[in-house]
Every structure is written in C-alpha cells, then in structure tokens.
Copies of this chain bind each other. A is one copy, B any other.
Amino acid sequence: MQLGLIGLGKMGFNMRERLREAGHEVIGYDPRPEVSDVANLEELAGALSAPRVVWVMVPSGTITHSTIVELAGVLSPGDLVIDGGNSRYTEDGPHAELLGEKGISFIDAGVSGGIWGLTEGYGLMVGGSDDDVARAMPIFDALRPPGDVADGFVHAGPVGAGHYAKMVHNGIEYGLMHAYAEGYELLAAEELIKDPQAVIQAWSNGTVVRSWLQSLLAKALKEDPGFAEISGYTEDSGEGRWTVEEAIAHRVPMPVIAASLFARFASRQEDSPTMKAVSALRNQFGGHAVKRISESG
C-alpha cells in the first residue's frame, strides 16, 4: 500500500527501506532535501491518494505536536495519521481529538528495535480503534519481525495504549540494562575473574539471563575492553521518567526502575549536591576529614 512517512532520521530512514523492500510505496518527507522525496507536507499530501495514511516519525514533544497540527491542515477527512515516535501517551488523546475534528483518524505506535530494526524488524505496540488498526495492518506487518504476529506486534488498546506500552517497555529496559551493568561492575572488581567479557559472552546460550541486551553487552565489551573509551555520562530520553511518574500515579512500588533512572541523573552531575551535604554533615559532627574542592583532582 501507499504510505507517507515524515521524518527520515535514524529510525525513519531505515523504516522507509524496510517498507519499500516489502513492496510498499513510501513517500518520505524530511527537512533535509537530500533524503526527502517531497519538498513539504503539502506536497506530501498531494502526492498521496486519499484516503491517505501518514506515519509521523519525528522527535517527541514540540516537533511531533507541530507536525500533527500541520497535518490537520493539509490532510482530508478519512485520512489516518500514525504517531510512531516516542511521544508521551498523554499527548495522544489531544492529538486524536485535534485530528478527529477534521475527520482524520489517529493511531499511536510504539516502535522498538533501534538501528537493528531494518534487518530484524521492529517490535510494535499500537493504540487506536480496531478499524484504524486493521487499515494500517499491511504497514505494521511489513515493519514487524517475521514470525507469529503476536510475538512482535500488539494492538494494546485504544488511543494512548501503544505509547503507554512502549513507555513501560523502555522503563523495563532501564532496569534490565542497570542489572547487567551492576553485575558487570562486580565481575570487573573481582580478581578471580580473568575476563568479564568472556563471562558475559558465555551467558549467550543456556543461561537464565540470556537476552538481546546481554549479547549486546558482550559485543560492546569486545569492541571496547574495560570500557576504556566510553564515559558513564548517560542521557535519558524521557520514557524512564514517565514510567516512574506513572508508577507514582498508580501507587505502584517501582524501586528497581526508579533506581536505574536516578543513577542516570547522577551520572550527569559533575559533583553531587546531595553528597556534598552528606560530606558536610559528617564533617560537622565528627570532625571527619572531607575533600575540599581544591584537593579533588
């Protein structure tokens, strides 16, 4: 089928490739003319036959919002917009409403798989009406990994459910990565262990902890032994924060995912105000030696 695809960055570019390989006609738009098939959204709308399906794959937040506002202006009743970015699920309802006023349908789609999706397929979690999902199903089938549809695609619920499921997926991802990473640090700290990389590599088959992330950790350590080349400074994209906020809203205890989130915050601090305060307190009551700024290398 025919698809308009907005955003041809790291994710969108590969998705266009995968969709075309599956025989779909994809007209892509990106502000960078060298990758774009059309000059602007109006031209994109003109190039697609109604009823159109347009996939938005741009950074979440302001850019996604303004793209959807612009689409509401150039699309027609009966068209369908799919937000495949990492939008917060709370934005889906308003977007569905905004488009719905023009008679345009909306699906939110959580897309997992990163740069590997091109070859392995993307894990998809979508929210929307049964009719809308059925309509876009050929696209989803081309994007998702081969095999049983239920193993790589879920219609998670009404509008918002797709991004909600993706948010939880990413929250879990934080916890998983941190668990492996703590284990790695302990292995690396223990003299008995000759080579942490070899241990983690050996978990690839048969063990309880085998996983895609485990294999990536082994791969990363092979490429950069001891992580000599990489800093611990770690960004967070928002979905971890939202997951913990949702946990609070639902009164769900979430110590593991929260701990992995807080560790990312801490990784970006040059020095921790909390620990300065703790250190100052120890000094106050105990006369314990503290490290003055002038001493800390």
- What bracket does the count of chain A residues touching chain B fall in? 35 or more
CB distance A171 to B183 under 8 Å?
yes
Stretch at the interface among A23-31, A43-51, A272-280: A272-280
A residues 30-61 with Cβ under 8 Å of B?
Answer: none
CB distance A168 to B154 under 8 Å?
no
Among B202, B230, B253, B271, which residue has its beta carbon within 8 angstroms of that of A293? B230
Which secondary structure dominates chain A's binding surface? Answer: helix
CB distance A192 to B280 under 8 Å?
no
Question: CB of A2 within 8 A of chain B?
Answer: no
Complex formed: what's the CA distance from A121 to B206 in Å? 6
Chain B residues positioned under 8 Å from A88 (CB to CB):
none
Among B113, B194, B253, which residue has its beta carbon within 8 angstroms of that of A266? B253
State how many copies of this chain the complex holds. Answer: 4
Chain B residues positioned under 8 Å from A10 (CB to CB):
287
Among B115, B123, B232, B286, which residue has its beta carbon within 8 angstroms of that of A286? B115
CB distance A259 to B261 under 8 Å?
no
Minimal beta-carbon separation of A107 from chain B (angstroms): 14
Determine which residue in A125, A252, A287 has the highest number of CB atoms from chain B within 10 A of its CB, and name it.
A252
Minimal beta-carbon separation of A221 from chain B (angstroms): 8
Chain B residues positioned under 8 Å from A267 (CB to CB):
272, 275, 278-279
- Interface residues of A, Cβ cutoff 8 Å to B: 10, 89, 112-117, 120-125, 127, 144-145, 147-148, 150-158, 160-161, 164-165, 168-190, 192-195, 198-199, 201-214, 216-217, 219-221, 224, 227-235, 241, 243-248, 250-293, 295-297
Q: Which 8 A-B pairs have the closest CB atoms?
A: A175-B179, A211-B211, A232-B275, A123-B207, A154-B202, A181-B277, A123-B206, A151-B204
